[in-house]
A and B are shown apart, each in its own frame.
Chain A
Amino acid sequence: MSEVCNDKEGLVQKIAALEQSIVGLKALAVAFERWHEDMINLTAQTRDMNSNGDDLASIARHLVMVSVNAAIEAARAGDVAKGFVVVAAEVKSQAQHVQTLSNDMRKTLHKSELLTTTTFQDIQAGGKMMMAAISGLERMVKDLRDGMGA
């Protein structure tokens, strides 16, 4: 009889410990929500940077076009614009450099958008998985308590 009592007492203690663990896991769920909020901000910021990157790419394209036109006009002007030919060539070279940098930056920004968006979604889904697992544990504890008549 006392063995049965000890078993029951041990089980009650284990259930209480399990309930404490569930409380701890629920606190972790709050941290998940914080990460989720942070990721929303990060994702929005990445999209803003992407939009700026698109504007910059458009300016770089325009700059290359203008520099090519300047080089053509300088060549047409002949000897009187010899100095300007050199300047136009330098402007063209710099414009092309800006365009290359802008293209590289856009690619980096798109990669960043992909990584932040998919990480955000994985965290969001992970939070749901964890909440489902906690609910499962809570049901198990309830069944155990009901089974013991506690």
Chain B
Amino acid sequence: MAWGPDVISDASHENIEHAFHHAIRGNFLVDANDDCRIESDAGDPDPRDIEQKVLVITISSFVFRLLVIFGILEDSPTRDYYLPQASVQTLEDIFAETANMCSGALSRELSLNFPHLAMSTPSPLNSRCIGLLHELKPQRLASYRITIKESVTLRATLCLCCSAPFEVAAVPESLDLTHEHGELEMF
């Protein structure tokens, strides 16, 4: 699905995508120097997709809501990468915390354009729901496959629903917001 020309420009699309990729690299890597590849996921569903643990977080403004969806497989490479030995945390906890921080970083970048932006807490979602996102009638739906150190594969989806046209300016490179952490807030 393409960006609706009357709702958001290609440049704004690229700016959101750039901010999202920046947030992923700033939060999902255990070591900032780890190899990370983010590719557009045009289709070819993986049979393991339904086994994914999926989390959704909503970033809302007065004119749009952006669903940020992350999927992770609880396989050995993923456990080995994210769970240090003798860790008391579960992979699920680390995943929720990391997804929250990543969305927080994206939200902060977008808030430079939209001061009244707010973010939800993460919620689990059945992996089969991802195939039904078109039911929300989004103006934009984009999926990504994230490969870390050639062994860990994550999935991410951006689903943008707008009620009015808007633009997103690029975040100046001099502003590094990735090290401020999103916090799990209680409503």
- Nearest CB in chain A: distance from B36 CB, A: 27
Interface check A129, CB cutoff 8 A: yes
Min CB distance B159 to A, Å, is 9
CB contacts under 8 Å to A, within B35-91, are: 56-62, 65, 67
Are B129 and A125 interface neighbours, CB within 8 A? Answer: no
Interface size for chain A: under 10, 10 to 19, 20 to 34, or 35 or more residues?
20 to 34
Which chain B residues lie closer than 8 Å to A61 at the CB level?
none
Are the CB atoms of A129 and B65 closer together than 8 Å?
Answer: no
Q: Does A128 touch B at the CB level, under 8 Å?
A: yes
Please count the residue pairs between chain A and chain B whose beta carbons lie under 8 angstroms apart in the complex: 75
Number of interface residues of B (CB under 8 A): 26
Which residues of chain A from 101 to 134 have a CB within 8 Å of any chain B CB? Answer: 106-107, 110-111, 113-115, 117-118, 120-122, 124-129, 132-133
Cα distance A127–B187 in the bound complex, in angstroms: 8
Q: Is the CB of B125 within 8 A of A132?
A: no
Q: Are B57 and A126 in contact (CB under 8 A)?
A: no
CA A24 – CA B29 in complex, angstroms?
46
Which residue of B is nearest A126, CB measured? Answer: B60
Q: How many Å lie between the Cα of A38 and that of B55 in the bound state?
A: 21
The answer, yes or no, to whether B133 is at the interface (CB within 8 Å) is yes
Could you tell me if B129 and A122 are in contact, using CB atoms closer than 8 angstroms?
no
- Residue of A110, A122, A129 near B126 (CB, 8 A) is A110
Taking the closest CB of chain A, its distance from the CB of B68, in whole angstroms, is 10
Q: Are A124 and B120 in contact (CB under 8 A)?
A: yes
- A67 at interface by CB-CB < 8 Å: no
State in angstroms the CA–CA spacing of A125 and B117 once bound together. 8
Q: Tell me whether A114 and B65 are in contact in the complex, defined as CB-CB below 8 angstroms, given that A122-B60, A124-B120 are known contacts.
A: no
Q: Name the one of A33, A114, A120, A122 contacting B132, with C-beta atoms under 8 angstroms.
A: A114
Q: Is the CB of B187 within 8 A of A114?
A: no
Interface residues of A in 17-73 (CB under 8 A from B): 33, 36, 43, 50
Nearest chain-B residue to A117 (Cβ)? B123
Whole-angstrom distance between the Cβ of B130 and the nearest chain A Cβ: 9
Return the contact of A121 from the options B58, B61, B117, B133 (Cβ within 8 A): B58
Q: Using CB atoms, name the residue of chain A closest to B114.
A: A129
Bound complex: CA A115 to CA B119 (Å): 17
